[in-house]
Chains A and B, each alone.
Chain A
Amino acid sequence: MTGEGTSRRSFLMRSLALGGAAAFAGTGGSRAAEGGDPAITELKDWNSYLGEGVVARPYGTPSSFEAGVVRRDVPWLTADATSSVSFTPLHDLDGIITPNGLCFERHHAGIAEIPPDEHRLMINGLVDRPLVFTMDDLKRFPRENRVYFLECAANSGMEWRGAQLNGCQFTHGMIHCVMYTGTPLRYLLEEAGVKTAGKWLLAEGADASAMTRSIPMEKALDDCLVAWKMNGEALRPEQGYPVRLVVPGWEGNMWVKWLRRLEVGDQPWEHREETSKYTDLLASGKARKFTWGMEVKSVITNPSPQAPITHGKGRTVVTGLAWSGNGRIDRVDVTLDGGRNWHEARIDGPSLPMALHRFYYDFEWDGSQLLLQSRAVDDRGFVQPTKNELRAARGDNSIYHNNGIQTWLLTADGGLENVEVS
């Protein structure tokens, strides 16, 4: 079985590749070889032999044919892999939910591996009763399920000075969107009793960076969650197992992982991650601080530089993602000519506030060179700006909060490239 199976499989792969090449040359559609397509006329291993039984894969993983759908990093971005970032393969995904194993990572001191029995969450500061919770305690609070995007403040940050990285995984992949299960942060705060002077909350992680951010009490009491599940299962270690903070619509840095402490205070702490980092330098030399909200944004994920068009001209699906920290996405427009003329795209799937939205634009590609862009509008009426509009307002050195419109050059051979246009 094995030897013959392998050769049959490699023959299949070769014929698939040839079929792709033939279509690429412009004949289009699926072609049958003389006497018929061997994918149909040949008896395949899987038509005849038994596959693996149940629990051969106690925790299932994707098909081996999807082995290329993985997180990737850009080694030159950071000094060390433990304070670094990996990117979600947006070009290979669809819908609005990111699979847990593909959610981008951002650590400042590596992945903390914490036994849940040894994890504690403390609330202290300006409260009536400083408290300590175990994970068992947290799971006795009323629960909520919410779908939110989490976008790193630095997503697209490498593109401030111009087109740099070839692929939406790298230009836009510091984002994921999952369903979180947890308890509203306000329940924990009510349990401790916030004193009237308590206007700010410091959230702190248990990892070796002891990440801290100051959060205004208004947001903490509004929609923040203390979450221990994502997409139905426990948080992944790289996403903060056993518990993380969820700060809907706000920059990912504030979603403190491995959450171990919440301190109530009467003013912000101005810690490293809100002074040295996550402040946005303007052309004037001044810098904005506390730029919490993630602005209206979108990107065409497929086709894109990592996902060229291989079917030749004809019917073509353009798809992408849109999101806004302000709320829902009202509309996404797509252009094929670099922003001269726009067409309303179709949003499909749930439209949830502060979550990813999936859009499609179906068209007939005539094989000519095109300049693809998408432009999102949110339910507060904010329209995604161009990169040049952003640069005119902020200069080139803000690092964070680049929500400018992305352009892909589609060339006649079906390849795509990250470009900027006039």
Chain B
Amino acid sequence: MSKFPEALFLAGLIAAGAAGIVAVSAEEPAGAPLGLGRVATESEVAAWDIDVRPDGQGLPVGSGTVLEGEAIFEMQCASCHGDFGEGRDRWPVLAGGFDTLTRARPEKTIGSYWPYLSTVYDYIHRAMPFGSAQTLGDDEVYALTAYVLYLNDIVTDEDFELSNENFTSIEMPNAGAFVPDDREQEAHYKTGAEPCMVDCKPAPAEITMRAQVLDVTPDSEGAAGGQVD
């Protein structure tokens, strides 16, 4: 439109510079703060920050007994998890399975596998009951956590009361059994050698197992007991 486009362009550049606008093209965008977002209020953080850690950080003030937990469990949980945490149909088993972790078919439950009680409280509170999550009060979650301990024989007194005061004194049986990721130390990774290309096996490969024999792919009947989670 202008007869002097270059002049206009220069004027624009000068104006932009004066206003503090800097065009960054090839460079990494400038770091924070960009002044985006707003400060979260205390009540907003309190509404969403419900997580609990193994050291007890995040536990709300409250308490509940095994007996109170049993009543809540029967109402809210037993239809899937069974009256004793044994799990109905394919729903998760919550109790038992001790000393099965080295067996061919291990049973990984809260009692036999979970390392921290804090996870029990946190997960029930944030995600259970399945389909109506975050409807349980703090004391109800303490009571349910106490009842799950009872189902797993980790506490044996049905009058036992779990609270934010005594919570971190509870030790889970399998707490010491978790190790950091050391996959790179495995023999097949350690070598770093060029893989074999020719005559890599002394004899022709033989078939040792066939999925068709198991026949559990969809469109067929039956289950083989695999799991994805």
Contacts and interface: CB of A to CB of B under 8 A. Distances in A.
Contact of A275 (B119, B127, B179): B119
Interface stretch (A5-13, A130-138, A230-238, A346-354): A130-138
A235 B145 CA distance: 37
A289 B133 CA distance: 26
Contacts of B40: 122-124, 130-132
Main SS at interface, chain B: loop
Nearest to A129: B39
Interface in A57-95: 72-80, 82-85
B180 A290 contact: yes
Contacts of B1: none
A269 to B, nearest CB: 5
Contact of A271 (B90, B119, B217): B119
Interface in B173-204: 177-183, 186-189, 191-192, 195-201, 204
A204 B123 CA distance: 12
Nearest to A72: B218
Contacts of A379: none
Contacts of A289: 178-181
Contacts, number: 282
A176 interface: no
A158 B205 contact: no
A124 B196 CA distance: 52
Interface string B147-182: 000000000000000000000000000000111111
Given A76-B216, A287-B178, A333-B197, A419 B91 contact: no
Interface string A220-259: 0000000000000000000000000000000000000000
Contacts of A157: 226-228
Contact of B210 (A267, A338, A419): A419
Contacts of A418: 210-212
Contact of A420 (B55, B196, B208): B208
| Chain A interface residue number, banded | 35 or more
B93 to A, nearest CB: 11
A77 B209 contact: no
A269 B104 CA distance: 30
Contacts of A290: 180-181
A208 B37 contact: no
Contacts of B118: 270
Contact of B37 (A137, A291, A292): A137
A287 B177 contact: yes
Interface residues of B, number: 84
B6 interface: no
A163 interface: yes
A151 interface: no
B113 interface: yes
A347 to B, nearest CB: 16
Interface stretch (B12-20, B43-51, B62-70, B71-79): B43-51
Nearest to A290: B181
A210 interface: yes
B189 A385 contact: yes
B131 interface: yes
Interface stretch (A20-28, A48-56, A394-402): A394-402
A293 B212 CA distance: 32
A96 interface: no
B211 A164 contact: yes
19 contacts: A76-B216, A82-B131, A83-B229, A161-B226, A204-B48, A208-B133, A263-B51, A276-B123, A281-B101, A288-B179, A288-B182, A338-B204, A339-B205, A341-B198, A342-B198, A399-B229, A409-B207, A417-B211, A420-B208
Given A283-B102, A293-B181, A371-B205, 6 more contacts: A79-B91, A79-B92, A295-B183, A377-B195, A383-B191, A421-B205
